[in-house]
Amino acid sequence: MQIQFTNLFKLAPEKKKIFKKINFLIKNNHFIGGSEVENFEKEFSKFVGSKYCVTVGNGTDALYLSIKALNLKKGSEAIIPVNTWISTAEAAANAGLKVIFCDINLEDYSIDLNDLKKKISKKTKLILPVHLYGNPSNMIQIKKIINTKNIKIIEDCAQAHGSTINNKHVGTFGNIGTFSFFPGKNIGCFGDGGAIVTNNKKYFEYILRARNHGSLKKYDHKFSGFNSRLDSIQAAILRIKLRNYNKALKKRIDIADIYFKNLKVIGELQLFKLKKGYKSCYHQFVIRTNVRNKLQNFLQKKESQQWYITHIC
Ligand SMILES: Cc1ncc(COP(=O)(O)O)c(C=O)c1O
């Protein structure tokens, strides 16, 4: 049996509103930037609880531009968990840093703190914890480990919209947090999209220019930047989806609870173990097992009960 990972058309309960908005934007020639983008940035920073938010073309650019904002010396070491999507390491390498891979723990699959301690050296200037599958990395301990060392933190929140630690959104513990709005993400647009959140004015101002050829307005190029902007149509879609997101997230969490309770009947399954106060947005519900076929048969029988998390947005 094949389960579709995502089906944008089927999944968007807000499709009517979305099509109406797209129609309006096309009719009125609103394509790049403008009020939809600015309003989404305000709404997303409020959702996350950060002072600033800058949208960019995708989650990979969000990582790259964030690293550039830190202005680290070429060859500085960046510690990155081994288990992530390529973008995290790719962005660091492309920004001239030396990537040092760190192991993950098998409870929630985030960065392993013992290995992190071993990997920190005099050359370490950046740690990039990844809140993979939506599970928050242990930001409290990571910050304790860094303590007074001159090491910056960029949190890769590409899979963690709505994940929190003691009710504080991930992405607000380090210096910068980055998000992806790739269609398959919990908050996904109908194309590519990304965002950066920070409380630091200097980083915010750099990224705001860097995403738009180094300029804030026409012919105001202060440095050679990049072209990495969110378009108005994606921003409008994201605004509509963000408004419904708390409801969609609750549904995900309820379905995850069903998995946690009911999968116990099959032994030999390794499920997530989240720490107290750590809330996952369950971007993915990952199960490790040696009895794959047994699990598959069990889930197949449950299909009629709509267990599949892929059925919600
Ligand atoms: C952990 C992680 N980081 C970064 C990215 C990059 O995001 P994007 O595909 O929007 O460039 C992704 C996307 O899948 C991701 O899962």
Please tell me if the CB atom of residue 60 comes closer than 6 angstroms to any atom of ligand 1.
Answer: yes
> Is residue 252 in some structural domain?
yes
Instruction: Indicate whether 170 and 75 sit together in one domain.
Output: yes
Instruction: Indicate whether 256 and 235 sit together in one domain.
Output: no
Indicate the pLDDT class of residue 6, thresholds 50, 70 and 90. low
Is the model's pLDDT at 311 over the cut of 50? no
Q: 219: domain range?
A: 8-239
Which of 21, 45, 17, 133 shows the shortest CA–CA distance to 81? 133
Residue 121: the pLDDT is 97
Kindly report the CA angle at 14 between 10 and 15, in degrees rounded to 5? 60
Instruction: Indicate whether 169 and 280 sit together in one domain.
Output: no
Please tell me if the CB atom of residue 280 comes closer than 6 angstroms to any atom of ligand 1.
Answer: no
Q: Is the overall model pTM greater than 0.85, yes or no?
A: yes
Residue 313: the pLDDT is 32
Asked whether 168 and 142 are in contact (CB, 8 A), the reply is no
For 30, the 3-state DSSP assignment is coil
Residue with tokens 């550039």: 68
Residue 8: the pLDDT is 66
pLDDT tens, residue by residue, 120-173: 999 999 999 999 999 999 999 999 999 999 999 999 999 999 999 999 999 999
* Ligand 1 center–CA 89 separation, angstroms: 11
Q: Which of 215, 239, 263 is the last residue of a domain?
A: 239
Of the CA atoms within 13 Å of residue 104, those in its CB half-sphere come to 18
The CATH number of residue 143's host domain is: 3.40.640.10
Residue 77: the pLDDT is 98
Instruction: Indicate whether 156 and 221 sit together in one domain.
Output: yes
Residue 298: the pLDDT is 86
Please tell me if the CB atom of residue 177 comes closer than 6 angstroms to any atom of ligand 1.
Answer: no
Please tell me the distance from the alpha carbon of residue 249 to that of residue 227, in angstroms, as a whole number. 32
Instruction: Indicate whether 96 and 69 sit together in one domain.
Output: yes
> Is residue 284 in some structural domain?
yes
Q: Which residues contact 141 (CB under 8 A, 6 or more apart)?
A: 113
Ligand 1: nearest atom to the Cα of 184: 14
Q: What is the mean pLDDT of residues 280-297?
A: 91
Of the CA atoms within 13 Å of residue 102, those in its CB half-sphere come to 28
Strands 278-279, 164-165: parallel, antiparallel or unpaired by DSSP?
Answer: antiparallel
Q: What is the mean pLDDT of residues 279-301?
A: 90
Is the model's pLDDT at 242 over the cut of 80? yes
Instruction: Indicate whether 175 and 224 sit together in one domain.
Output: yes
Instruction: Indicate whether 62 and 151 sit together in one domain.
Output: yes
Please tell me if the CB atom of residue 130 comes closer than 6 angstroms to any atom of ligand 1.
Answer: yes
Indicate the pLDDT class of residue 266, thresholds 50, 70 and 90. confident
Instruction: Indicate whether 102 and 150 sit together in one domain.
Output: yes
Q: Where do the H-state alpha helices sit in 111-231?
A: 113-119, 139-146, 201-210
* Ligand 1 center–CA 130 separation, angstroms: 10
Is the model's pLDDT at 4 over the cut of 70? no
Residue 177: the pLDDT is 98
Instruction: Indicate whether 221 and 282 sit together in one domain.
Output: no
Task: Provide the token pair at 173.
Answer: 């513990």
Q: What is the mean pLDDT of residues 105-116?
A: 96
Asked whether 82 and 101 are in contact (CB, 8 A), the reply is yes
Indicate the pLDDT class of residue 265, thresholds 50, 70 and 90. confident
Please tell me if the CB atom of residue 88 comes closer than 6 angstroms to any atom of ligand 1.
Answer: yes
Q: Which of 212, 239, 266 is the last residue of a domain?
A: 239
Ligand 1: nearest atom to the Cα of 60: 11
Is the model's pLDDT at 54 over the cut of 60? yes
> Is residue 132 in some structural domain?
yes
* Ligand 1 center–CA 158 separation, angstroms: 5
Instruction: Indicate whether 104 and 251 sit together in one domain.
Output: no
The CATH number of residue 284's host domain is: 3.90.1150.10
Q: 103-107, long-range: CB within 8 Å, 24+ apart, which pairs?
A: 104/132, 106/270, 106/288, 107/272, 107/273
Q: Which of 239, 264, 282 is the last residue of a domain?
A: 239
> Is residue 3 in some structural domain?
no
Instruction: Indicate whether 18 and 164 sit together in one domain.
Output: yes
Instruction: Indicate whether 234 and 267 sit together in one domain.
Output: no
* Ligand 1 center–CA 163 separation, angstroms: 16
Asked whether 260 and 238 are in contact (CB, 8 A), the reply is no
Is the model's pLDDT at 212 over the cut of 80? yes
CA of residue 169 relative to chain centroid, distance: 11
Q: How many structural domains is the chain composed of?
A: 2
Across the chain, mean pLDDT equals: 93
Which of 147, 142, 126 shows the shortest CA–CA distance to 203? 126
> Is residue 1 in some structural domain?
no
Is the model's pLDDT at 309 over the cut of 50? no
Asked whether 63 and 87 are in contact (CB, 8 A), the reply is yes
Q: What is the mean pLDDT of residues 168-196?
A: 96
Pocket test for ligand 1, best of 110, 159, 178 (most atoms within 8 A of CB): 159
Is the model's pLDDT at 264 over the cut of 90? no
> Is residue 2 in some structural domain?
no
